[in-house]
Amino acid sequence: DTAVSQTPKYLVTQMGNDKSIKCEQNLGHDTMYWYKQDSKKFLKIMFSYNNKELIINETVPNRFSPKSPDKAHLNLHINSLELGDSAVYFCASSPSLTGRYGYTFGSGTRLTVV
């Protein structure tokens, strides 16, 4: 029983395409996140949602649009993909906004834009 599951695990696509990454958690957590890990392994938050409400929206290009149909799901849609979007994208969840117990991460989606 995977706690935070992301699909797909790998995604290879051409520049200009639109793609989505799906995330689901079965932990009953209220808060979900998207992080981007670049080629140097640096992890940076992109978005957070709490009970379907957008809480954090970092300086991310508006080609990236998160959607949370319910508190167990947080999907990431990316329009007009660029070479610089190539990275590993992690979904994560935590019991509450405070994050005091840390986050539970999915296994990541490696996006390669060619």
Name the residues that contact other proteins, by CB under 8 A.
33, 40-45, 48, 55-56, 88, 90, 92, 96-105, 107-108, 110
- Closest approach of other proteins to the CB of residue 44, in Å: 8
**Residue 47 or 81: which CB sits closer to other proteins?**
47
Q: Which is nearer to other proteins, 45 or 72 (CB)?
A: 45
CB of 88 to other proteins, least distance (A): 7
CB 4 within 8 A of CB 108: no
What is the DSSP track for 59-97? S--TTEEEEEEETTEEEEEE-S--GGG-EEEEEEEESST
* Residue 100 beta carbon to other proteins: minimum distance, rounded to whole angstroms: 5
User: Shortest distance, CB of residue 96 to other proteins, whole angstroms?
Assistant: 8
CA nearest to 66, candidates 57, 56, 75: 75
**21 and 80 Cβ atoms separated by less than 8 Å:** no
d(CA 17, CA 77): 11
Of residues 15 and 43, the one with the C-beta less far from other proteins: 43
